[in-house]
Amino acid sequence: MGRGGLHCDYGEMSEGSFQPLKVAIIGTGYVGLMTGVSSAYMDHRVVGVDRDASKIELLRSGRSRGNPVRLL
């Protein structure tokens, strides 16, 4: 087992055996947003959490604040 307690043996994976992950992103700033969007694009299930409710409302409407980002 790895130092962080997570273990993945890629040798056991065969083509077509993809299993989507459940991913929680804490903080929807630039890094969290890009991580969440990238994970969702790869068909993982993503939940974003932020203490700033206005950020969440913007994301729900398909927009982001700050740097313009085209959400998929």
DSSP assignment string, 33-53: HHHHHHHHHTT-EEEEE-S-H
- Identify the pLDDT of residue 13: 58
pLDDT: is 12 or 28 the higher one?
A: 28
Q: Is 25:46 a contact under the CB 8 Å cutoff? A: yes
Q: Residue 16: which pLDDT band, with cuts at 50, 70 and 90?
A: confident
pTM of the prediction?
0.64
**What's the burial of 33, exposed, middle or buried (CB within 10 Å: 0-12/13-18/19+)?**
buried
**Can you tell me the mean pLDDT for 48-63?**
89
Residue 19 has pLDDT above 60, yes or no: yes
Look at residue 23 and tell me whether its pLDDT is greater than 50.
yes
Which residues, at least 6 apart from 17, have a Cβ–Cβ distance to it below 8 Å?
none
- Is the pLDDT reported for residue 5 higher than 80? no
